Amino acid sequence: MFIHIPAKNLYVSEPDPRHFGNPKNDDPKVNWLKSRFHFSFAEYYDPSNQSFGALTVMNDDLVQPNKGFGEHPHQNMEIVTYIVQGELTHEDSKGNKESLGRGSAQYMSAGSGVFHSEYNLSKKEVCRFIQIWIKPRQTNTKVQYKSYRGENGQANNKWFHLVGDLQGNSQAPAKINQDTNIWVSEFSTEQRFEIKEGRQAYLLCVEGQFEMTIDSKQPLQELKSQLINQYDGVKLFKSIVLKPIDKAHVLLVEMNK
């Protein structure tokens, strides 16, 4: 009913800074980028772990100050970037340029093709963000870039619908070209999330830890629980109950099976 992917099982990438147009590391002991890959990406390839439904990439990136990803191309992919810490600056070949902080999201339909860059321009603070790639409903569509600027308290003890389907009646501030939803929550009280029949979801523990059980008519104490820690992923096929240990921050991508 769920598959737990502990952080220790994720592939951790620390590429050469020159590969993305950066100077050498300021501190030889700290790489400019530390990425945790939830699915096959770049130098990591596992034929049994290439996607989960429409979700093909979930990278948890930590970028050091004054470093980033130089200009590079994308095509035929829905790309959502959720900022957890610091500030991320996006610039692309369509003339868009913007800096966003915690709780915000950049979303781009790469469609027929676009070049963009992403930088942490701060001189002191690291930037952490989650980059998500979702297969589009249609290919070679018009390139679009939009964003949502996060607000304090938007996800406090509730599920905040961050991304929805462009073709549906979604009230989410961000909309993409696919029947996929992204929800976030920062909670210190018990939360439930419904997975409807024929749907599935991928959950990332962004911060904190919590106990997770399948939502059932049985008393919670009779159900087997799983402790979920920071950076862990979970593949979900049934509705769930989340009970925080202290306070937790999660991101959940919900889609068709």
**Which range, of 37-46, 137-146, 216-225, averages the lowest pLDDT?**
216-225
Alpha carbon 72 to its chain centroid, in Å, reads 20
**Which CATH number applies to 2-256?**
2.60.120.10
* Predicted structure pTM score: 0.95
3-state secondary structure 35-84: EEECCCECCECCCCCCCECCEEEEEEEEECCCEEEEEEEECCCEEEEEEE
Rounded Cα gap, residues 208 and 9, in angstroms: 18
- Note the pLDDT tens digit of each residue in 33-83: 999 999 999 999 999 999 999 999 999 999 999 999 999 999 999 999 999
HSE toward the beta carbon, residue 67, CA cutoff 13 A: 27
**What amino acid occupies position 37?**
F
Position 223 scores a pLDDT of: 62
Provide the residue ranges of all domains of the chain, joining segments of one domain with +: 2-256
How long a stretch of residues is the chain? 257
Alpha carbon 104 to its chain centroid, in Å, reads 12
- Note the pLDDT tens digit of each residue in 87-136: 999 999 999 999 999 999 999 999 999 999 999 999 999 999 999 999 99
Average pLDDT over residues 239-244: 96
